[in-house]
A = this chain, B = another copy of it.
Amino acid sequence: MISNALLYLTRKNLIETDARIIEPYCQGWRGERGKALFLARPRSMDELSEIVRTCIRNDIHLIPQSARTGLVGASVPDDSGQQGIVSLERLTSRFEFDRVNRSVTCSAGLRLSEVNARLKPDGLYLPIDLGADPCIGGMIATNTGGARLIRHGDMRRHVLELSVILGDADGTMVKLGSPLRKNATGPDWKHLFVGTGATFGIIGECTLSVERLPVHRAAALVPLPDETILPDFLIRLEEQFGSLISAIEFMSANAMHAAYAHVPSLKRPFGHDIPEMAVLVELSCDWPLAAEDRSLDDILLSGLCALWDETSGKLGAGVFGRAEEIWGIRHTLSEGVRRRGRLYAFDLAFRRSDTLRFRSVMTARLNRQFPGIEVCDFGHVGDGGLHFNLVDHLPADEWTPDRERAIRDFVIRAAVEEFGGSFSAEHSIGPVNQHYLNTFADDFHKSLASALEPVTSGRSFGRVHYSGINQR
């Protein structure tokens, strides 16, 4: 059966089986590796449907793949060599911009950067700000967030309509939602396909609501003496600047040191006297200021000075500079931390009052219980996100996988059970954290997912399983 299916798909020029071509598609962003039976790169919804249909009928499990920039291994096939990869990278032909509706209908395989390049002449963009350059389909499938979520929300907010290929024996295409901005005619089923990988179907096309590009930006770095001031600082920032705020980002001293070690030429707004922690505050606006208007730099400066006075100087004096230079530090943290040693990365989220309290409590506990662990964290404290990254300095010959597992469990159990947090704020679910989903999802949530599977797909796609039973 399988060989006939492969023969059919090969003849129709829909799949590659050459190992050299397939190999790069078997690797994830964080070094995950698997093996694949074949690689399919459909160029149209019809081709995607045909591939799905043929595979479903022949019992071949498909792993949909977008730009492979995901961080939880969801797009990497397993080791069996029996799974087929369906990459969306050639599904790029559709791009219909509706200027009046401020929306774009496009193929799932288009990169974020490409969509934004095409929207730029009209002063518009999809305002999801990420370190990577993913495809639109993967952004929806993971409901990605990013550094400007506090202003623009997550990917879900921008999805108006989806075209999905179901995993049934016909590879049926269904449409969910519409290009309308409001429509209250019952369950909005598109949400089932947002942030759920390809479990319930493969997203092939979508209509997105887009926004106006910022015209002005200003950024500052504010040193904090310790984490206890953050809750009050967040309140005061929002009182002062309201929705001019487009990012509030936290950086620990350890993360900043790691960034400077990795890229020594980065700007050093604090000189060599790096504070314990700092918060990047960005203001931006998407309308043109007039010549007589105060600049955002002025507004930010005077606002932060007022806060400094109000808090009797408990805040360190803010450091200003060109927004790109300040963001340059922020954007180097991740790679800097990665180079510092063996990394256990966590993508957590909390109520905003808990973000740095978690950090403080857990740093102390880790120091006691797991000597050798260095907390090199940073995150989106404006929306409660914390990339609680741990670098393990234990000598390699003392390290065991059990240690890593124990530390991961230790951190995630505290985050979820004690602090009511999320173990995956914006990276979604994959083999890397499926175990935690199985642990923490309640029976009701699992039963909802199970009830829908027969409707949405004879078989589900991908590596994730939401009913709590691991995928075969």
Contacts and interface: CB of A to CB of B under 8 A. Distances in A.
B181 A287 contact: no
A131 interface: no
B243 A287 contact: yes
B383 A182 contact: yes
B420 A178 contact: yes
Interface in A169-220: 172, 174, 178-189, 191-192, 194-196, 211-212, 215
Interface in A412-443: 420-429, 436-437, 440-442
Given A287-B241, A287-B243, A182 B441 contact: no
Contact of A145 (B184, B239, B302): B184
Contacts of A294: 290, 292-293
Contacts of A447: 455
A144 B183 CA distance: 10
Contact of A182 (B181, B212, B422): B422
Contacts of A421: 180
A449 interface: yes
Interface stretch (A81-89, A96-104, A265-273, A320-328): A96-104
A114 interface: no
A182 to B, nearest CB: 5
A212 B242 contact: yes
Contacts of A425: 180, 182-184
Contact of A422 (B183, B239, B423): B183
A426 to B, nearest CB: 5
B383 A181 contact: yes
A149 interface: yes
A149 B448 contact: no
Interface in A359-389: 380, 383-385
A468 to B, nearest CB: 10
Nearest to A213: B242
Interface of A: 98-103, 123, 142-145, 149-150, 153-154, 156-157, 172, 174, 178-189, 191-192, 194-196, 211-212, 215, 231, 234-235, 238-244, 285-288, 290, 292-294, 299, 302, 349-353, 380, 383-385, 420-429, 436-437, 440-442, 444-445, 447-449, 451-452, 454-456, 464, 466
Contacts of A144: 184
Given A102-B238, A181-B349, A287-B244, A186 B445 contact: yes
A437 B185 contact: yes
A429 B186 contact: yes
Contact of A183 (B103, B179, B349): B349
A149 B242 contact: no
A437 B191 contact: no
Given A182-B425, A425-B183, A427-B184, A351 B98 contact: yes
Given A100-B352, A180-B349, A241-B287, 14 more contacts: A101-B351, A145-B182, A157-B157, A178-B422, A179-B351, A181-B383, A184-B195, A184-B428, A185-B424, A186-B196, A187-B445, A243-B243, A448-B456, A451-B455
A272 to B, nearest CB: 33
Contacts of A154: 182, 184
8 smallest CB-CB distances across A and B, nearest first, come from: A242-B287, A242-B286, A191-B191, A100-B353, A183-B422, A100-B231, A181-B383, A184-B428
Given A238-B212, A290-B294, A353-B101, A149 B184 contact: no
Nearest to A351: B101
Contacts of A185: 422-424, 428-429, 436-437, 440-441
A239 B425 CA distance: 33
A464 B234 CA distance: 43
A331 to B, nearest CB: 19
A420 B103 CA distance: 15
A194 B189 contact: no
Contacts of A436: 185
Given A101-B351, A157-B153, A351-B101, A426 B182 contact: yes
